[in-house]
Amino acid sequence: MKIAAISDIHGNIYALMKVLEDIDDQKIDLTICLGDLVGYGPHPNEVVALIKRREIPCIKGNYDASVVDGGFTFIRDTSINSFALPWACDEVRASNKYYLSQLPLFLNYDINGVKLKFTHGSPNSISEYLFEDKENTEEVMNNLEEDILVCAHTHIPSYKKFNNKMFINVGSVGKPKIGRPNATYCIINIDDNKKIDVKFRELEYEFKRIVKDTQMLHFPNQLISSYESGNE
């Protein structure tokens, strides 16, 4: 069974459309979204609408939660967020805020006898960063009951084995931090013999369109340039 795990779209409809086209080409059986549909980008309502229309199972990201409650409870209070959060709170429709508020924090699947947990940050916190070589990640993996943890939030794709457990961070569709203006997502293939294959997809998309849109809306230059550089 081939699973596509996407995350951190952040209101970037152009990147999401490109990724979903690629997912269709890859003959994926199940697509799962790990959250952060909104925040930063100029098209949060369009992103939510497309995820809903495709009936993609989705969990709540920390930016989704912050847009719902209207405060910095789950995100950092930075100069960019001081603009992006109020903008998103005003822009996201009430019906879409309700949709975001109802999203679960985790999704669990048993596929061919392999147990997977999908979360945004970590099983401990929606806003905890899990980097593959950090001590907190090792602690999380040691306590993991499932076979595979699939997370996001860092915007950096990574993969590592912890004894008999597997750690996967799927990267970011709409707000990459890989030093390139490309969308990333992950394909997890689990066959009938429980063999697991993990592949990351990195896709070019028309990022100049979102740059133009954000310029027209007078977004901060630091935020606009991040779409061009692929850096925070």
Tokens of 213: 């849109």
Q: Which domains does the chain have, with CATH numbers?
A: 2-108+172-229 (3.60.21.10)
Q: How confident is the model at residue 82 (pLDDT cuts 50, 70, 90)?
A: very high
Encoded amino acid at 108, one letter: N
Q: Provide the mean pLDDT of the chain.
A: 97
What CA–CA distance (Å, rounded) separates 71 from 206? Answer: 32
pLDDT at 186: 98
- Give the pLDDT band of residue 170 (cuts 50, 70, 90): very high
Burial of 170 (0-12, 13-18, 19+ CB in 10 A): buried
**What is the rounded distance in angstroms from the CA atom of residue 51 to the CA atom of residue 145?**
29
Tell me whether residue 193 is exposed, middle or buried, using C-beta atoms within 10 angstroms of its C-beta: 0 to 12, 13 to 18, 19 or more.
exposed
d(CA 69, CA 64): 9
What sign does the CA torsion over 54, 56, 61, 65 have? positive
Helices (H), 71-194: 79-91, 94-101, 135-143
pLDDT at 57 over 90: yes
How do residues 15-50 score in pLDDT, each as one tens digit?
A: 999 999 999 999 999 999 999 999 999 999 999 999
Structure tokens at 148: 């595979």
What local confidence, expressed as pLDDT, does residue 223 receive?
Answer: 97
Say yes or no to pLDDT of 232 above 90.
no
pLDDT of res. 63 = 97
What does the pLDDT look like over 175-220, one tens digit per residue? 999 999 999 999 999 999 999 999 999 999 999 999 999 999 999 9
The helix (run of H) or strand (run of E) holding residue 160 is strand 158-162
Residue 135 has pLDDT above 90, yes or no: yes
Which three-class secondary structure state does DSSP give residue 225? helix
- Is residue 126 within 8 A of residue 120, CB to CB? The reply is yes
The answer to whether the beta carbons of residues 120 and 58 sit under 8 Å apart is: no
